[in-house]
Structure 1
Amino acid sequence: MSLTKWKEREKEQRRNDIIKVSRKLFADKDFDKVSMEDIAKEVGLGKGTLYLYFKNKESLYFAVVLKGIQIWAAIVKEEVKKDYSGLNRLISYGNANRGFSNKYPDYFRLLYSPTSIKKQFDMDKMTSSEEFQEVRELFKEIMSVGIDSIQKGIDEGEIRPDVDPTEAAILLSVIYNGKANMGDWAKELLENKGIDEEKFSKDIGDLFLHMLTK
Structure 2
Amino acid sequence: MELLIMSKARRKEKEREMRRNEIVDAAEKLFFSRGYENVKMEDIARELEMARATLYLSFKNKEDIYAAIAIRASNIVREMFQELNHKDLTGIEKIRYVATTYHEFYKKYTGYYMAYYHSGMFDYQNSPDLEELRRIRIGSFRMVVEAVREGIKDGSVRNDIDPVATTLVMLSMSNNALAISPVTKMYMENYGLNQDELYERTVDMMLQSIENLEQARRN
TM-score bracket, normalised by the shorter chain, equals 0.7 to 0.9
Query: In the alignment, what sits opposite 2:88?
Result: 83
Query: In the alignment, what sits opposite 1:56?
Result: 61
Shift of 1:161: 1.2
Query: In the alignment, what sits opposite 1:176?
Result: 174
Summarize the Cα distance change of 1:16–1:137 in structure 2 as closer, same or farther, 3 Å threshold.
same
Summarize the Cα distance change of 1:194–1:3 in structure 2 as closer, same or farther, 3 Å threshold.
farther
CA contact (8 A) 2:148 2:163 kept: yes
2:25, 2:197 → 1: CA distance? 29
Shift of 1:183: 1.6
TM-score, scaled relative to structure 1 = 0.82
Please give the secondary structure, in 2, of the residue aligned with 1:22: helix
1:138, 1:83 → 2: CA distance? 24
CA contact (8 A) 1:24 1:106 kept: no
Give the number of the structure whose alpha-carbon radius of gyration is greater. 2
Structure 1: 5+ residue stretches without partners? none
Query: In the alignment, what sits opposite 1:68?
Result: 73
Question: Structure 1 residue 97 and structure 2 residue 95: aligned?
Answer: no
Query: In the alignment, what sits opposite 1:204?
Result: 202
Summarize the Cα distance change of 1:14–1:202 in structure 2 as closer, same or farther, 3 Å threshold.
farther
2:41, 2:84 → 1: CA distance? 37
1:135 to 117, 133, 136: 133
AA in 2 matched with 1:166? V
TM-score, scaled relative to structure 2 = 0.81
Shift of 1:64: 1.3
Structure 2: 5+ residue stretches without partners? 1-6, 214-219
1:83, 1:102 → 2: CA distance? 26
Query: In the alignment, what sits opposite 2:148?
Result: 150
Query: In the alignment, what sits opposite 2:4?
Result: none
2:25, 2:87 → 1: CA distance? 31
Q: Where in structure 2 are the equivalents of 1:186-201 lying within 5 Å?
A: 186-201=184-199
Deviation per CA, 1:17-36: give whole Å up to 9, x if none. Answer: 321332243343343x4221
Please give the secondary structure, in 1, of the residue aligned with 2:118: coil
Deviation per CA, 1:59-105: give whole Å up to 9, x if none. Answer: 21211111111111111112353234222221211122111111112
Shift of 1:5: 7.2
CA contact (8 A) 1:21 1:39 kept: yes
**Equivalent pairs, count:** 205
1:11, 1:96 → 2: CA distance? 34
- After superposition, the CA RMSD in angstroms is 2.6
2:195, 2:64 → 1: CA distance? 31
Shift of 1:6: 7.4
Please give the secondary structure, in 1, of the residue aligned with 2:208: helix
CA contact (8 A) 2:45 2:51 kept: yes
2:22, 2:201 → 1: CA distance? 36
AA in 1 matched with 2:181? G
Higher relative CO (Cα under 8 Å, sequence separation at least 6) belongs to 1
